[in-house]
Amino acid sequence: MSAIDGYVGDVLEWIPQCLPARARIEADLRSHLADRVEAGESEAAAVSRMGAPEDVAREFLAQLDLRPATLLRRGAAFLIDVALGLVLLAPVLLLASVAFEGGLDWGTGPPWFTILIVAGVALALSIPVLSVVYFPLLEGLWGQTIGKRAVGICVVKETGERADWAAVIIRRFPFYFDFFWLDALFAPFTKRRQRAFDLVARTLVVRIQARRP
C-alpha cells in the first residue's frame, strides 16, 4: 500500500460510510496529494504536510451540515427494520415448527392459527434479536440499518465521526433491558433529537443530504 493510500484510508476511517461527503473528501485528498507528488515531492513528504488523519477528518466533518433526523423518519426506519425481522424470522420459525411436530399441531389445526402463533413468536423474538445483533452490527459497520438506509438517515458520533462499536452497543442498552419507550421519551425534548442513551453514547441520528458535486 502506498503512503497516499494509507493516509487517505486513515482519514476515511474517522468518517462515517453513510455520509455522501465521504467520497468527495477522498477525491479531494487524492487529487491534492497527486498534485504535490507531480510537483516533485515524495508521497511521504506530501502526506506529512496534510496534518494528523484524525485532525483532518475532524476539520472536514466540522464543515458538514449534519441535521438531526426527524422522529418521523426514525420511527419509519424502526418499523421497516422490525418488519424485516418479522419477514426473516417467521419462515424460520415456521420451518422449525414443522420440523418439531410436537410444538404445533400442523396436521389438525387450521393453518391460519399456526401462522398467527408463528407471527406472534416472531414478533416477540424479532426485537431482541434485532437489538442484540442486527442494529449494532449494521450501525457499527455502515452507520445505518436497512431501515435507516431506506429513509436516508444514519448514526454518527456527536462530532460527526463514525460511531464506534462501543457507541452503537451502548445506544442499544434500552432495547436489551426493555426500557426503550422511556429512553425514547427524551428524543422530542432534546435539541438534537437524541434518546437518553444517544446522549450517553454521544451519538446522533442525522439526515443524509446529497451534496453538490
Partner 1 sequence: MDRELRRGTLEMVLLRLLEEDDRYGYELITALDERSGGAIVVKDGTLYAVLYRLEASGWVEPYWRTQERGVPRKYYRITEAGREKLERSLDDWFTYVDAVGRIVGTRKGKR
> Which residues contact partner 1 by CB under 8 A?
11, 25, 27-29, 31-32, 34-36, 38-39, 49-51, 55-56, 59-60, 62-65, 212
Q: How far is the CB of 85 from partner 1 (least distance, A)?
A: 38
The nearer residue to partner 1, 11 or 122, going by C-beta atoms, is: 11
The helix, strand and coil proportions of the chain, stated in percent and rounded to the nearest 5, come to: 65, 5, 30
The nearer residue to partner 1, 60 or 180, going by C-beta atoms, is: 60
Q: How far is the CB of 76 from partner 1 (least distance, A)?
A: 28
The dihedral through the CA atoms of 46, 48, 51, 52 has a sign that is positive
The nearer residue to partner 1, 64 or 127, going by C-beta atoms, is: 64
Half-sphere exposure of 132 (CA within 13 A, CB side): 8
**154: helix, coil or strand?**
strand
The nearer residue to partner 1, 32 or 192, going by C-beta atoms, is: 32
Q: How far is the CB of 65 from partner 1 (least distance, A)?
A: 7
Which residues in 130-147 are b (16+ Cβ under 10 Å) and which e? bbeebbbebbbebbbbeb
Q: How far is the CB of 38 from partner 1 (least distance, A)?
A: 8
- H-helix or E-strand spanning residue 204: strand 203-207
